[in-house]
Amino acid sequence: MTHYELDKAAGLSCADIAISSMIEALQASTENEYIDLREPYDPLPPKTWPSTLAYVDKHAGGFYGVSACTAEKGSGKTMLATSSAMAAAASGHWQVCMFLAEDDYDGFRERFNLNIDAHPELEDCIDNFHLFSVGRGQTPEMICADVACAVDAKMDTPILVVMDSINSIVNLGTGNYFDSLRAFGLWAMLARRISRGEASFLLTCESNKRGEAKAEQIPFWADVYLKMKKKSDNVVEMWLDKTRRTAGEGPMGKHVRTWMAQRFYLHSDIPELRIVSGGRREDLEFF
């Protein structure tokens, strides 16, 4: 039996397995796990949570595993991460820990309140949502300790760790940037693998001039990788670059960022954006 199966057989909760896996993933050396393919086994489906993007939720079932989103500044990375994290917590199927390295509490609270106003069902997120403002010099070990202290290990729900953004968390540190980035990325990937998704991660990443992630190897380690390209003030083109276990890879089209709803909507699905005689662009709440 695998480590995961032994933990399940021992009656450990999903949260317990997530925490122990995150701790194990911090070790400098871990054993190779032999897998006997002769044993009958039904693969576990990905443990998904709402992305709040209609395309991703339809084709991939939502975000899962290590999900990473890359975009340039001002494209809506934090809006997407916040909305997805709140939806996961409100579902009752996840305990969520979100780490803010850029937005402050007032800015986050405004996003939080707008989400609740526009989507009252998200009010149920409050008991399963834990928010942290990131300090200087953070390491995966310190983030892991915060998560372990915040969540209820007795709950039989997986844990979602949201880091916005992973680049800023690393920049707040005092060590080598690339070594720290590698440490965070490997920790997330290994914890997800060891736990079979009981420990999952949503990472926002800054993009370089070529539109690729500044986060080095994270797109390779991620299970879901979403790329966003700002086309105008509130229009963003999206591409689902990678889904390890589901369908949907490819262009997602242009999306409109709506501040009051805290959501991205497919450009072609918004009737108010159709050109009409006498219409004025400035009359649209989306711009």
Q: With pLDDT > 70 as the criterion, what percentage of the chain qualifies? A: 90
pLDDT tens, residue by residue, 215-237: 678 899 999 999 999 888 889 99
pLDDT band at 175 (very low <50, low <70, confident <90, very high): confident
pLDDT tens, residue by residue, 252-264: 999 999 999 999 9
Residue of 249, 279, 261 whose CA lies nearest to 82? 261
Per-residue pLDDT, 41:
82
Cβ-contact 180, 58 below 8 angstroms:
no
Domain ranges of the chain: 3-39+47-283
- How would you class 229 by CB atoms within 10 Å of its CB: exposed for 0-12, middle for 13-18, buried for 19 or more? middle
Q: What is the DSSP string of 39-58?
A: S--PPPPP-EE--S-HHHHH
Cβ-contact 82, 112 below 8 angstroms:
yes
CATH placement of domain 3-39+47-283: 3.40.50.300
